[in-house]
């Protein structure tokens, strides 16, 4: 049996994802929309939301518990029935370290 395409990406990832269940802010022109991040890695996250099909990038603000709020532009890499897989754009050094502090204790 050949695995479905949705079953394969985890093996292809360089950065492991951890369960996040974080509420993030999607910054859209003229408004801010809340959405849930199901999981998170150093490279991106899975957002349980369905942005317009015409959008290829989103700007997110991710409040990390007991730390800073990261704001970054993300590219939409995959769309599913449950949401979108996002890849982070460039993170500054402080945001990168804050993300690592959040993820490190949650890694398997």
Ranges of H-type helices in the chain: 9-12, 93-103
Phi-psi region of 81 (alpha: psi -120 to 50; beta: other; left: phi over 0): alpha
How far is residue 1's CA from residue 30's CA, in Å, rounded to a whole number?
A: 48
Q: Please, what is the average pLDDT of the chain?
A: 89
Q: Which CATH architecture has domain 17-103?
A: Beta Barrel (2.40)
Position 3 confidence tier, pLDDT thresholds 50, 70, 90: very low
How far is CA 82 from each of CA 29, 31, 60, 68, rounded to the nearest angstrom? Answer: 24, 23, 18, 28
How far is residue 39's CA from residue 19's CA, in Å, rounded to a whole number?
A: 4
- Please give the share of the chain, as a percent, with pLDDT higher than 90: 81
Q: Which residues pair with 39 in a beta bridge?
A: 19, 46
Exposure pattern of 70-105 as b/e (b: 16+ CB <10 Å)? bebebebeeeeeebbbbebeebeeebeebbeebbee
- Please give the share of the chain, as a percent, with pLDDT higher than 70: 88
> Domains of the chain: which residue ranges?
17-103
Q: Whole-prediction pTM value?
A: 0.84
Decide: residue 58, CB within 10 A, 0-12 exposed, 13-18 middle, 19+ buried. buried
């Amino acid at each position: 049996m050949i695995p479905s395409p949705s079953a394969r990406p985890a093996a292809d990832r360089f950065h492991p994802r951890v369960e996040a269940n974080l509420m993030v802010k999607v910054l859209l022109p003229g408004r801010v929309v809340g959405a849930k991040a199901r999981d998170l890695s150093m490279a991106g996250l899975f957002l349980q939301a369905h942005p317009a099909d015409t959008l290829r990038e989103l700007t997110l603000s991710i409040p990390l518990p007991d730390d800073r709020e990261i704001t970054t532009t993300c590219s939409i890499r995959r769309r599913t029935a449950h949401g979108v897989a996002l890849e982070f754009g460039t993170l500054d050094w402080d945001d990168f370290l804050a993300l690592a502090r959040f993820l490190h204790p949650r890694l398997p």
